[in-house]
A and B are shown apart, each in its own frame.
Chain A
Amino acid sequence: MGNQLALRVFYIIGVVVLLIVLLMGGHYGNFLLSTILVYTLVGMSLRILIGFGGQISIGHAGFWAIGAYTSGLLVVKLGMPFVVGVFFGGIVAAVFGAFVALPALRVQGHYLAIATLAFALFVQQGLFEWESLTGGRHGLYVPRPEIAGILLKTDLVYNYFLLPLVILFGWITENFRKSHTGHALMALKMSSIAAQTAGINRTHHLFVAFMVSAFYTGVSGALYAHLIGYLSTETFTLGVSLSFLTMAVIGGLDSSLGPILGAVFLTLAPEVFRGLKSAQLVVYGVTLVLCMRFLPGGLASLANIIGSGLGTQKRQKT
């Protein structure tokens, strides 16, 4: 327990230091920070769905794309304010989340993974083909975010908006864990029969988990759209879904720090391993496998490994 606490403190200090470094790190540092914050929301989304709900999704690129395009189109075509676009990006994604919950009521594991995968492909192809609305192959230009007439011109200013928003979502995520639905999902994950005979409505709570998760990812996609400024269906490939999953697992699904740690990894790894070019994917793959094998609780659980390692050493000495 002591180790776990020490590690938490270490991570929190590390994350804060990193935030400050990136905030002062000029344009590029701020862009990286914005990216981290946007990914953190996806990490929280997967913490809710996989960590709390025990469900799997390799379709989150689909929700991300829906959020991004919804917000982009509302702002570009209807002239809606940026904040409204982001909110509806989440709402529309949540509606699709309800559809994706349908297969989860019947199937689990591999089959659910395939169903969610199909959803991501469907969304990507749909956006590509619907050229009159989304611009299809030409893509869609999205303006910089603007709040109450103030243009968030630089990523530095955007970060001042993103940071409190991500903290708010983090707080809501932890409330979700302690909520009625959070307890119900935990129960369903451990014994579906006992949970249901104790009056827990499986259908209801699975829908909630998928919809809330999709909402987070939709909001993240919308924020990403305004950060990048240009949307193309190339941005929302299956590879993105897999990166999200990798990020969530490496960060740790059982810890409130997991999402931010995973997001830092997903954002900074390409910077660190830039020299490897396309061999980068090998690094992700190997990291993921090592993580699943030796660190199933992700980076956030590193203390358990260190702790038990020290424990064995002590035992050997005596």
Chain B
Amino acid sequence: MSFGKHEFLKIENLSMYFRGLKALNRVSFLLEKGLICGLIGPNGAGKTTLLNCLTRVYYPQAGRVFFNGHDVLARPIHRIAELGICRTFQNLELFKEATVHENLLIGCLFRFQSNLVADLFGFPATRRKFAKARKEVDSVIDQTGLNPYAHQKVSALPFGVQKTVELARALAGQPQLLLLDEPAAGMNPEESLQLAEMLRQLRGQQNITILLIEHDMRLIMNICDQIIVLDHGEKICEGPPSKVRTDPQVIKAYLGEEGSNA
């Protein structure tokens, strides 16, 4: 199989087993730049596992992942972000005892050169580096509406705000591909609408491609250009919302055998 320059994200026959449990079984798909793609499926379908493979939290037993022509799986976990892939986590993985500002600063540090000696002796280069990083963090804080919380400890913030902090931290990395694991979980309908609006803006204004796992079907059908449905580790359907909504296999996966008959 070959891959051309135009292929943004290409996943080939990805398989991941946990002691015989097939979390992912030969999953393949393509994702074009600039799309919002939903990854849905019942609990235990392998959605989070797929995200973990893409970011090298896991190393799949088989399959390949290419991003802009780079072999993602050949890289260690800490060299994925530099390709332009940033993510959030299902059960928040924030730097809880740090402030919102610090969380975002850490999220963007990988784009700057680390020079220990310059840092330890407070060279001007270090001051310039951190000034630039702080400025970028401030603009992401503005964009995500986190200003009122900027210098508060993350652990003291309400759950919904913490979710926004995680999204903002991923954005601080200036990703081309943003991976979101259930960004709307725990949100009320109004917050969920705001989230949809923000994701559309990210795609529209910054041309960020988004791959999101979500159970909120209204959100998914509302914003996604493409939807991939997983069940028991296998891709059972792929296409625009209109197609997925009426696909008998998808309905069966969600509602069971009787549902599809009804």
Instruction: Point out residues on A near B: beta carbons under 8 Å.
Output: 172, 175-176, 178-184, 186-187, 190-191, 193-202, 208
Chain A hits for B119, CB < 8 A: 175-176, 178-182
Number of A-B pairs whose CB atoms are under 8 Å? 94
Could you tell me if A180 and B112 are in contact, using CB atoms closer than 8 angstroms? Answer: yes
Q: How far in angstroms is the closest Cβ of chain A from B131?
A: 13
The answer to whether A186 touches B95, judged by C-beta atoms less than 8 angstroms apart, is: yes
Residue of B nearest to A211 (CB): B116
Q: Which segment of B21-29, B38-46, B120-128, B230-238 sits at the interface?
A: B120-128
- In the assembled complex, the CB of B159 is this many whole angstroms from the nearest CB of chain A, namely 16
Query: What is the bound-complex CA distance between A172 and B106, given in angstroms?
Result: 21
A211 vs chain B, min Cβ distance (A): 10
What would be 24 A-B contacts, judged by CB atoms less than 8 Å apart? A172-B121, A175-B120, A175-B121, A175-B122, A176-B120, A178-B119, A179-B116, A180-B109, A180-B114, A183-B106, A184-B114, A186-B98, A190-B95, A190-B97, A193-B57, A195-B106, A197-B57, A197-B81, A198-B106, A198-B107, A198-B169, A198-B173, A200-B106, A208-B116
Interface of A is mostly: helix
Query: CB distance A180 to B115 under 8 Å?
Result: yes
Interface-central residue, B87, B119, B121, by most chain A CB under 10 Å: B119
Q: For the complex of A and B, list the 7 residue pairs with the smallest distance between their C-beta atoms, beginning with the closest.
A: A199-B110, A179-B119, A199-B81, A194-B93, A180-B114, A190-B95, A191-B93
Q: In the assembled complex, how far is the CB of residue B92 from the closest CB belonging to chain A, in whole angstroms?
A: 9
A196 x B78 contact (CB < 8 A):
yes
Complex Cα–Cα for A193 and B48 (A): 14
Instruction: Answer yes or no: B77 CB below 8 A from chain A CBs.
Output: yes
With known contacts A191-B95, A197-B55, A183–B86 Cβ distance under 8 A: no
Task: Tell whether, in the assembled complex, residue B94 and residue A194 are in contact, meaning their CB atoms are under 8 Å apart.
Answer: yes
Instruction: Evaluate contact between B87 and A184: CB separation under 8 angstroms.
Output: no
In this complex, what residue of A is CB-closest to B173?
Answer: A198
Closest to A195 in B: B106
Select which of A182, A194, A200 is within 8 A of B110 by beta carbon.
A200
Bound complex: CA A172 to CA B115 (Å): 14
Pair B121/A197 contact, Cβ less than 8 Å: no
A182 proximity list for chain B (CB < 8 A): 119
